[in-house]
């Protein structure tokens, strides 16, 4: 088996994403179905796509991956892999309709970090967990692997979260914050809602319990933890708000404009009228503690790759915007005036730190006489409104989503680019 297939290629470029997809595609059917739950360790990721970091930064898109899979397999053969791709879409749509869940989580993280500064017991327990000093076989290894590599197998993430919540009895919000800081695929929706699901806060009374026998089986005996919690009682139910309609910002007008590229989409479609581009990295806004080196470096690399591809396509690089949202508005307005445009276009950012920053940016630009407009991916526009309840209800719509993906697309306008 070749090295590329066994080892995850976390080079933060679109070219690396396409190479990884090509290497994984032959295994996206029955092999993925039968082996996906095994965590073979960081030196062997042959049973999973390991594309999540590239997908999270938009270097390769969900619909692009699914189309490639369907060119090789029938939907029934690749059902498990296709569902895993749509889990990401589901989480985003669910949170998009309930942004208050994200805001509460952010407030809780601030509150709990402040509490840890005052509470020696919580502070010690938190330090032992994130530094991999709990003495729990597997858990400590995953804590170190996360910080050192920026990535964990999905099954390991579930085991880790369950042990954090039910064995160590640490606040789930601080575990989610630890993940979001360090994961190179750290996604606000997938991460926050997956931790809530493990804790029994997404589907009422349904928790995930890490069992030593399950860990031993699916790590092939690498880890055999002892003294794990024997049961997982759901945390006190926190009723999520009712879903609200998904709201997208004003679309591009076709007027001369600049393209704003964030880490949410580093291979954006470029509408007609775009004369140049700006980049804006906000990885440090993931947490009050910033972000880990691996996560920060991957996002920086993805944005550098975007800049290189956009320049190669003939667009002018008009600047790198300061991460501070208060400084971003004047900096972007100055760049727009130099370029002779009054419109800035950016891909719609799902609920999370980038979307939070864009909400601050829009009125700041308006005050400078500029307009912020948004592009939206067709699959997101179609699928997000279906994430009103649980995944099983959402899953019923997957055949319709696949049919829409198979519908021939209209030819792109001559001046548009897909990079």
Any idea which residue has 């869940």 for tokens? 101
Helix (H, G, I), strand (E, B) or coil at 419: coil
Smallest CA-to-CA distance from 25 within 65, 60, 58 is with: 65
Q: How far apart are the C-alpha atoms of 208 and 200, rounded to whole Å? A: 8
pLDDT of residue 407: 63
- The yes-or-no verdict on residue 413 having pLDDT over 50 is no
The answer to whether 298 and 150 are in contact (CB under 8 A) is yes
Share of the chain above pLDDT 70, in %: 95
Find how far residue 160's CA is from the centre of its chain.
18
The pLDDT of 130-143, averaged and rounded, is 98
CB atoms near residue 379 (< 10 Å): 18
Average pLDDT taken over every residue of the chain: 94
Q: How far apart are the C-alpha atoms of 44 and 1, rounded to whole Å? A: 11
The pLDDT of 123-149, averaged and rounded, is 98
Digit-coded pLDDT (tens) for 59-100:
999 999 999 999 999 999 999 999 999 999 999 999 999 999
Helix (H, G, I), strand (E, B) or coil at 119: coil
| Helix ranges (DSSP H) in 97-152 | 99-118, 120-130, 139-149
247: CB partners within 8 A, 6+ apart = none
pLDDT of residue 6: 65
- The yes-or-no verdict on residue 124 having pLDDT over 70 is yes
The answer to whether 324 and 146 are in contact (CB under 8 A) is no
Smallest CA-to-CA distance from 56 within 93, 15, 76, 85 is with: 85
pLDDT of residue 3: 38
pLDDT of residue 9: 86
pLDDT of residue 200: 96
Alpha carbon of 153 to those of 40, 48, 138, 183, 198: distances in Å? Answer: 9, 8, 12, 11, 16
pLDDT of residue 341: 96
Q: How far apart are the C-alpha atoms of 37 and 3, rounded to whole Å? A: 21
pLDDT of residue 418: 41
Digit-coded pLDDT (tens) for 281-304:
999 999 999 999 999 999 999 999
CB atoms near residue 170 (< 10 Å): 21
The answer to whether 21 and 67 are in contact (CB under 8 A) is no
- The yes-or-no verdict on residue 127 having pLDDT over 90 is yes
- Which CATH superfamily, name and number, covers 105-218? DNA Cyclobutane Dipyrimidine Photolyase, subunit A, domain 3 (1.10.579.10)
The pLDDT of 107-134, averaged and rounded, is 98
3-state secondary structure 170-222: CCHHHHHHHHHHHCCCCCHHHHHHHHHHHHCCCCCCCCCCCCHHHHHHHCCCC
Digit-coded pLDDT (tens) for 151-187:
999 999 999 999 999 999 999 999 999 999 999 999 9
Supply the pTM of this predicted model: 0.94
**Please, which pLDDT band fits residue 205 given cuts at 50, 70 and 90?**
confident
Secondary element (H or E) of residue 347:
strand 343-347
The answer to whether 62 and 87 are in contact (CB under 8 A) is no
Digit-coded pLDDT (tens) for 5-52:
566 789 999 999 999 999 999 999 999 999 999 999 999 999 999 999
Smallest CA-to-CA distance from 70 within 408, 364, 403, 311 is with: 403
């Amino acid at each position: 088996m070749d090295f590329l297939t066994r080892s995850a290629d976390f080079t933060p470029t679109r070219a690396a994403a396409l190479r990884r997809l090509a290497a994984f595609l032959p295994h996206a059917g029955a092999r993925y179905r039968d082996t996906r739950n095994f965590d073979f360790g960081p030196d062997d990721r042959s049973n999973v796509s390991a594309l999540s970091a590239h997908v999270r930064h938009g270097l390769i898109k969900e619909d692009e991956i699914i189309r490639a899979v369907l060119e090789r397999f029938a939907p029934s053969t690749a059902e498990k892999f296709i569902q895993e791709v749509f889990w990401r879409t589901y989480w985003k749509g669910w949170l998009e309709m309930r942004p208050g869940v994200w805001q509460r989580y952010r407030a809780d993280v601030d509150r709990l970090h402040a509490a840890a500064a005052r509470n020696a017991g919580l502070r010690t327990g938190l330090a032992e967990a994130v530094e991999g000093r709990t003495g729990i076989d597997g858990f400590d290894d995953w804590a170190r692997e996360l910080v050192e590599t920026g990535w964990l197998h999905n099954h390991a993430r579930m085991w880790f979260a369950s042990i954090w919540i039910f064995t160590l009895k640490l606040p789930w919000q601080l575990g989610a914050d630890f993940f979001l800081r360090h994961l190179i695929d750290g996604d606000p929706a997938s991460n926050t809602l997956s931790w809530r699901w493990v804790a029994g806060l997404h589907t009422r009374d349904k928790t995930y319990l890490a069992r030593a026998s399950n860990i031993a089986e699916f790590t092939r005996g690498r880890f055999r933890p002892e003294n794990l919690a024997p049961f997982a009682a759901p945390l006190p139910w926190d009723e999520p708000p009712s879903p609200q309609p998904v709201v997208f910002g004003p679309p591009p007008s076709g007027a001369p404009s600049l393209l704003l590229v964030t880490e949410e989409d580093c291979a954006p479609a470029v509408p007609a009228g775009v004369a140049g581009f700006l980049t804006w990295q906000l990885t440090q806004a993931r947490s009050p503690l910033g972000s880990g080196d691996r996560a920060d470096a991957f996002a920086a690399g993805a944005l550098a790759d975007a800049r290189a591809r956009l320049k190669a396509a003939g667009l002018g690089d008009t600047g790198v915007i300061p991460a501070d949202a208060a400084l971003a508005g004047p900096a972007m307005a100055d760049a727009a005036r130099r370029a002779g445009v009054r419109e800035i276009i950016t891909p719609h950012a799902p609920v999370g730190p980038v979307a939070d920053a864009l909400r601050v940016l829009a009125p700041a630009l308006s005050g400078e006489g500029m307009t912020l407009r948004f592009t939206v991916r067709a699959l997101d526009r179609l699928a997000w409104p279906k994430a009103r309840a649980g995944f099983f209800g959402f899953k019923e719509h997957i055949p319709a989503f696949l049919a829409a993906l198979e519908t021939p697309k209209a030819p792109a306008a001559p001046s548009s680019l897909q990079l």
